[in-house]
């Protein structure tokens, strides 16, 4: 004799699992939003809407604005995390060392620098911001012009035996940009153009440093005072 549905054993019924809502501390929630924003802006650009960002993260729009009252405040926090957060004081120290030569200094610095910045989020957000309001490139280039470029130009002049007292020439500046920009272009090619990057990126970076040193000796060495 078969049992009716009302007579069936309770054990035969499978209870639906209860979805447990994950709880975050204030710091954890802020980091969740920040991590999601970095990926979101890297994928969609800085014109992406915060409402879409909140949906993608899985939170309400008002909750996002509770942590970041404006979109610009969130973008500024992304800049601090992705750009300032990856800046290393050792870079400046390496370039200031008096016991090593120009090529050795540049090689040590740029191998580590390239490994640090040539990531999709670093490159893509930088470019997207440049095409929008320019806030991130303006801030970061200000950092380079204060802490990095003067050191490279100073060490190049020392290597060539040139006086450091004279104003930096346009020729020196453009030569330096050819080195720095050439290394950054590796990321442009890969993360903006969608082209394969070099198999041995370290070899490419070293080659560009050596080309810079040879070019400096050829083009600027004759300007000794």
Asked if residue 212 is part of any domain, the answer here is yes
Alpha helical stretches, state H, 83-169: 89-96, 102-117, 120-131, 135-147, 149-160
**How far is the C-alpha of 187 from the C-alpha of 182, rounded, in Å?**
10
pLDDT for 49 beyond 50: yes
pLDDT for 217 beyond 60: yes
Nearest to 206 by CA among 109, 127, 139, 123: 109
For 60-72, the pLDDT digits (tens) are 999 999 999 999 9
Asked if residue 17 is part of any domain, the answer here is no
The whole domain housing 187 covers 88-223
If asked whether residues 67 and 142 sit together in one domain, one would say no
Can you tell me whether residue 70 is helix, strand or coil?
coil
Residues 162, 217: contact at Cβ < 8 Å?
no
Final residue belonging to a domain, choices 82, 111, 128:
82
Reading the block at residue 34, the tokens are 């920040």
If asked whether residues 117 and 163 sit together in one domain, one would say yes
pTM for the whole structure: 0.86
If asked whether residues 109 and 198 sit together in one domain, one would say yes
């Amino acid at each position: 004799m078969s049992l009716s549905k009302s007579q069936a054993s309770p054990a035969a019924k499978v209870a639906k699992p209860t979805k447990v809502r994950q709880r975050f501390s204030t710091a954890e929630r802020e980091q969740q939003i920040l991590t999601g924003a970095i990926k979101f802006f890297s994928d969609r650009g800085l014109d992406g809407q915060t409402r879409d960002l909140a949906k993608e993260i899985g939170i309400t729009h008002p909750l996002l604005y509770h942590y970041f009252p404006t979109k610009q405040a969130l973008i500024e926090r992304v800049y601090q995390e992705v750009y300032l957060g990856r800046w290393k004081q050792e870079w400046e120290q390496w370039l200031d060392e008096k016991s090593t030569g120009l090529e050795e200094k540049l090689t040590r610095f740029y191998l580590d620098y390239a490994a640090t910045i040539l990531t999709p989020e670093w490159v893509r957000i930088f470019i997207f911001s440049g095409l929008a309001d320019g806030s991130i490139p303006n801030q970061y280039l200000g950092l380079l012009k204060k802490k990095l470029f003067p050191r490279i130009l100073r060490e190049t002049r020392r290597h060539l035996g040139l006086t450091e007292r004279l104003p930096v020439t346009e020729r020196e500046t453009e030569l330096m940009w050819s080195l720095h920009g050439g290394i950054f272009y590796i990321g442009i090619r890969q993360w903006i153009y969608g082209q394969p990057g070099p198999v041995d990126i370290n070899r490419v970076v070293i080659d560009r440093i050596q080309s810079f040193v040879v070019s400096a000796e050829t083009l600027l060495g004759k300007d000794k005072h």
